Amino acid sequence: MIWKRLSLTLLFIFLFPLSGGSCRVAYSAIRQDGTASGEKNITRTNDASRLLVEADADFSRGKYQKAVNGLRNLLPLTADKEILWARYKKAVLARTGNSFLHAMPKDRYRISMAAFVCALDKGANGFFLLDVREKREYASGHVTGAVNIPFREILDHLDRLPKPETGKKIVIICQTQHRANHVLVVLREIGFSNAYTLHNGYRSYLSFQKKLRNKTLTKPTCGPTVPARSGTTQPGGQPLPQIPVPDHHNVAQGAAEQALQVGRTALAVDLLKLALTGEADNDFLWKQYDRALVAEAGKTYLRSVPDNRYRVSIDDFVNHSQKKDQRYFLVDVRSPVEFTRGHLAGSVNIPFRTLLQHLGQLPPKDSSTRILLISTSQRRSIYTLVLLRQLGYTNSFMLKGGYGGYIKWLKKLPALKGTSVPSLQGGPAPDEQEQEEDFGC
């Protein structure tokens, strides 16, 4: 044993002069590489921190496109990507929703009943009639030629809808237009710029037809058919990239689009995210990924909508207000002119087109305070409700019947005079025609 130890010691003494130089060189190289690598990592960390702070500030200021761009630049710089992907998704949803609201025309993508009836008389060749009511409602009566896809299932059947480049308008029909508005937001967000709603829905269509039969309404004068404008645009007016036929270069993109068409939105997101890990500079791929994110959020939202569609009845609102057992943050999304003419006391006016630029004014997402959206007849509230819930504001609801419904409710209950029901400020609601105007807001 002693002899073995001595032999090893002599061997080490003998070899050390030969290896010492190389050991010192190796140690020196390791130290230099380590220092260089450390400086590189510090630089990357500083860049990532700066970009994250800037993206967060841009999001807070409502500059969602800048936030999206900043996060795109940040993702390749850090290994902690899951948090960043979630932030990126939030920025994309806010940007898309904000673009949708800002691009909203005065008619809010509604087709008047007169124009609809005229189109039907001519065969409705330029229309795709989409009935989003439940199957039992559709079976009890529907517009001839309408295709039934219940509103919660729309994102599972995108392959059945005509794309904008076909020149066909998708006319979304429900009972009173409310469910149709939920669908309108989701379809337009993912690029169906040919999506419209039938004003006041199927119930109004039946009433219109009855008046025509009874001759209490003059049949509308139908002019020449105006073809639907072709072209594929996103909510903000930007071209929606077309999906090429898959080849060996873009198999992931083609597979993602096919998944999207049949409702596999989560799969589309995963495929495109995987592709982006190797092609972070591919702008086309980013656009497709953004679209898949919005589609997934839209599908999740529609699938989760309860039967009450997040509406708080006026009775419940008043009862909660009297008992003070439910806190509400009232957001009136009508125009400033409408708000000045009359509103519920304590409500804050944020016109619907600008709501997503004022998220800082709302209670936090995890707050027990309910955000109660108020418009004239709740249609404008629907647009903002969909977008807020997609962004995670699960404490957002809308007042059923809107401000106009509340006025009617008060008129029916004169005995409430002197009680602690929520009061009004300003005058009563304007007439129905004025209620529907946005006054340029």
Cβ 274 vs Cβ 74: under 8 Å: no
**What global pTM score does this model have?**
0.80
Query: What are the tokens at 184?
Result: 């309108």
Crossing angle of helices 178-189 and 81-102, in 10° steps, is 120
Question: Which H or E element spans position 311?
Answer: strand 311-312
Quick check: do 112-213 and 311-435 share a fold? yes
What pLDDT does residue 420 have? 54
Tens digits of residue pLDDT in 362-415: 999 999 999 999 999 888 999 999 999 999 999 999 999 999 998 888 887 655
Side-chain half-sphere CA neighbours of 4 within 13 A: 1
Structural domain spans, the chain: 39-105, 112-213, 251-304, 311-435
Fold of the domain built from segment(s) 112-213: Oxidized Rhodanese; domain 1 (3.40.250)
The per-residue pLDDT string of the chain (441 residues; one tens digit each, 9 = 90 and over) reads 444 444 434 333 333 343 444 443 333 443 444 445 555 455 555 677 888 899 999 999 999 999 999 999 888 766 567 888 999 999 999 999 999 999 999 999 999 999 999 888 888 888 999 999 999 999 999 999 999 999 999 999 999 999 999 999 999 999 999 999 999 999 999 999 999 999 999 999 999 988 888 888 877 777 655 444 433 344 443 444 444 434 434 677 888 889 989 999 999 999 998 888 878 888 888 999 999 999 999 999 999 999 999 999 998 988 887 777 668 999 999 999 999 998 998 899 999 999 999 999 999 999 999 999 999 988 899 999 999 999 999 999 999 999 999 888 888 765 545 445 677 776 555 444 434 433 222
Cα end-to-end span (Å), the chain: 95
Q: CA distances (Å), 405 to each of 324, 411, 428, 429, in order? A: 22, 10, 11, 10
Tens digits of residue pLDDT in 249-287: 467 788 888 998 999 999 999 999 888 887 888 888 899
Determine whether domain 311-435 maps to CATH 3.40.250.10.
yes
Residues in CB range of 141: below 8 A, 6 or more apart: 202, 206
Sequence length of the chain is: 441
Query: What are the tokens at 206?
Result: 């039946």
